Amino acid sequence: MTANTVVAALDAASVRRLTTGQVILDDVSWTVRSGEHWALLGANGAGKTTVLRLIGALMHPTTGTVDVLGHRLGRVDMRELRAHIGLVSSSQKVPLDAAAHTVVLTGHTGTVQPLWRKYDAEVRERAHELLAELEIKDLADRAYGVCSGGQRARILVARALMADPALLLLDEPFNALDLPSREDLIDAMHRLALTRTGLATITVTHHLEELSPAIGHVLLLKEGRVLTSGPAEQVLTGERMTQCFGRPIEVSRHEGRWLARSGRR
């Protein structure tokens, strides 16, 4: 995609639970362009996962519109659209006994189990190249189940990249990672941002420390509504974060990395 191409756009998108009428998202408008790296932040229940499900073509809005990769939800085959969106989530179902290379291969078919007849020599080589790009080529024959949390996360990123997506969604990819594993994944995401200049990413996380220096934009959600969005240095302020999370928060930055801590009441 060319620079500044819109890869995802929500226009007054709302989501209501049909059974109870509960408002999950309320009048959310947001645009993500190629090459942009966004963080999606908010307290539990703010609507982060629902926004990611909309952009990931996993659900439709109740009202408003959602456009992803040039297609409007409701006018496109959602399964075909999902094939062009990379998704990384710690809750993804992956066969624990499958080798890392096999797990990456399944990204080509978008399946949990491998479809061996679909993987020619070129596809298999591409999986090896992605493992190398994520600096885990030595894990190719290792069972996914015995890999560390950080290794698993990078295997899932490689899997998501098999479709050569223009949009990569990361739903709490740092969940339960120890410090070295977290830093390995942050470094990997930073490298991807530098080498894949057209790739847009959206990262959902609870901790500013998990944001790579490549994150240039932030969307803050509060109770299903957009509190604010824009360049990270304008959004990640103590005032904005305090407003978003409902308690005093101090924000600092060091060598491109962010830190948030609770201030005194």
pLDDT of residue 235: 96
pLDDT of residue 97: 93
Between the alpha carbon of residue 164 and those of residues 154, 193, 199, the distances in Å are 16, 14, 9
pLDDT of residue 111: 86
- How many Å separate Cα 81 from the centre of its chain? 16
Over 80: is that where the pLDDT of 137 sits? yes
Domain boundaries, the chain: 6-84+165-262, 94-163
Q: Can you name the CATH fold of 6-84+165-262?
A: Rossmann fold (3.40.50)
pLDDT of residue 175: 84
Give the Cα separation of 64 and 48 in Å (integer). 17
Over 70: is that where the pLDDT of 1 sits? no
Over 90: is that where the pLDDT of 203 sits? yes
Mean pLDDT over residues 225-235, rounded?
A: 96
- How many Å separate Cα 169 from the centre of its chain? 2
pLDDT of residue 21: 75
pLDDT tier, 66 (very low <50, low <70, confident <90, very high otherwise): very high
Question: pLDDT per residue over 103-118, tens digit each?
Answer: 999 999 888 888 899 9
What kind and span of H or E run contains 249? strand 249-254
Q: What is the reported pTM?
A: 0.92
Residue type, 205: T
Mean pLDDT over residues 67-78, rounded?
A: 93
Give the percent of the chain with pLDDT over 90: 76
